[in-house]
Amino acid sequence: MSGRHLICWLHWGVVLLVLAMVKGGTATPWVLWLFVLAVAFWGGLTLRNGMLGKPGPKLSLPLRRAYPWMHRALHLSLGLTAVAVLMRLIGQPQVWLDAWTMLLVTLALCTFHGLFHFWRHTTLYDGALRLIIPPVLHKWL
């Protein structure tokens, strides 16, 4: 499995875990642990290899400059959410970081992230969605 395929599966797996946690109110321990482990693994890969995605040439200069920082903010949000969930799992008090609040903030940021890439794909025609959607779904893009 290539690095891009692994990141693709992590990307969509974490999205589904976030949605499962929002629907279930973060009550199912195995979903919480799976989320923490997936984010830790993805964060480790990112720290070791850097971010896989690069800004496309069709983006304007300000958006190209902002692109890596937007993704770093998403990684930070995911990481803080995973820390908050882990603290909840091990029974530590959440004085400065609430798991539910962080989950909702992360969900909002990820929604804007998805809309940004949808905009890139449909307005700039740069194939942004083809990079992260599994190849079996490309015929509908």
56 lies in some domain: yes
Task: Quote the number of domains for the chain.
Answer: 1
Task: Residue 8: give the domain boundaries.
Answer: 3-136
What pLDDT digit, counting tens, does each position of 46-93 carry? 889 888 777 878 888 998 899 889 999 999 999 999 999 999 899 887
Confidence (pTM): 0.86
What pLDDT digit, counting tens, does each position of 4-31 carry? 778 888 888 999 999 999 887 667 889 9
CA distance 90 to 134: 35
71 lies in some domain: yes
CA distance 99 to 80: 9
Per DSSP (E only), the strands in the chain are: none
123 lies in some domain: yes
54 lies in some domain: yes
8 lies in some domain: yes
141 lies in some domain: no
110 lies in some domain: yes
Q: What is the pLDDT of residue 1?
A: 62
Q: What is the pLDDT of residue 78?
A: 95
C-alpha dist (Å) from residue 139 to 19, 31, 131: 25, 31, 13
